[in-house]
Amino acid sequence: FPSVRSAIEHFRKLDPEIIDQDIPGFVIVRNGEAVAKVEDQHALIFSNFRGDRASEFSEAMLADDFPHFERKVRPKVMFAGMTQYDQDNEIPPDFLAGTPEVDDPFGKRILELGLKQFRLTETQKFAHVTFFYNGGYREPLDISMENYHLIPSDNIPSFAEMPGMKASEISKKAVEFIRSGEYQYGLINFANADMVGHTGDLQAAIQAVETTDAALDNIVRAIDSVNGLLVITADHGNADQMLIVNKSGTLEKSTKHSINPVPYLVYDPLYDGDYKLKPFSVNHNNNLSHVAATNFVLLGQAVPDDLAPALFAE
């Protein structure tokens, strides 16, 4: 294509409902030659701050030992990331901004309390229950006390084609882990509402949420069988708002995260008291910073002084 604009216009003419993430790869050419072909001695700056996808691209550009696919050409370039996306493997070694230090993330603190834990999801959210949840590292600190379990995601162009994703498989494995009695804490991530919500397909999103709901029902039954406790929360919305009003006043599909408040639901069938919110000031905005401390309260543990306060009284 002669320009980025002409490429996007071409694909949107073929499919007026196509969204950015589904536009196929393309190359800008002039006189039959790529305009911006990466060659030896070029300098590349990857401007992403988030590590997911950026770390994989950086590895493909830099790693000597790269088993994931054949690189027909690997130009010798000066490559820098906006930050270091993979601290475990120091990828990339050159970066512009230091990586924020996250001291004592929740999973590490659980480990220090002697509680055995599992992390469970499919490929699309594996970084979220490991790298992001850990504050920047991917591997368990103690494999005898931490089980990171990955279920491979479907390899399809759009998750609207299979909105159930791997929710059923995740719930089956979660039930297995819970009923085993081996773990005192588990972190489970269902990707459906987010990944299918990004497609803008309302009917597919409905199916995604229904599948997740059925999967949660299986987990609730497992929690009942071991006299456990379940918390359901999220870090942002998506499938909750599939339509928006555009500038012309008409409805159009929404494929972005919503900014609606997320729930923090506690399922604790053996507790016959009341969970009472702390009397925060009228202008206080409860947010995700309170989740770690609240989880400590629910686990019957003292809340560390450096955390935002729990939502409930200790």
DSSP annotation of 154: P
Residue 98 lies in a domain: no
Q: Are residues 285 and 179 in the same domain?
A: no
Average pLDDT taken over every residue of the chain: 92
Q: Are residues 251 and 115 in the same domain?
A: yes
Q: Are residues 54 and 172 in the same domain?
A: no
Q: Note the pLDDT of residue 185.
A: 97
Residue 132 lies in a domain: yes
Residue 95 lies in a domain: no
Model confidence at 246: pLDDT above 90:
no
Q: Are residues 290 and 179 in the same domain?
A: no
β-pair type (117-122, 185-188): parallel
Residue 97 lies in a domain: no
Q: Note the pLDDT of residue 282.
A: 61
Model confidence at 279: pLDDT above 80:
no
Q: Are residues 169 and 22 in the same domain?
A: no
Enclosing domain of residue 175: 106-270
Model confidence at 281: pLDDT above 70:
no
Residue 23 lies in a domain: yes
| Confidence band for 283, pLDDT divided at 50, 70 and 90 | low
* CA–CA dist 288, 286 (Å, integer): 7
What's the number of domains the chain is made of?
3
With 0-12 CB in 10 A as exposed, 13-18 as middle and 19+ as buried, what is 137? middle
Q: Are residues 291 and 200 in the same domain?
A: no
pLDDT tens, position by position, 29-38: 999 888 888 8
Q: Are residues 262 and 158 in the same domain?
A: yes
Q: Are residues 160 and 122 in the same domain?
A: yes
Which pair of structure tokens corresponds to residue 237? 């919305």
Q: Are residues 313 and 177 in the same domain?
A: no
- Among candidate residues 187, 191, 144, 141, the one with its CA nearest the CA of residue 166: 191
- Among candidate residues 63, 56, 54, the one with its CA nearest the CA of residue 81: 54
Q: Are residues 193 and 264 in the same domain?
A: yes
pLDDT tens, position by position, 96-142: 988 778 889 999 999 999 999 999 999 999 999 998 899 888 899 99
Q: Are residues 225 and 307 in the same domain?
A: no
Q: Are residues 61 and 210 in the same domain?
A: no
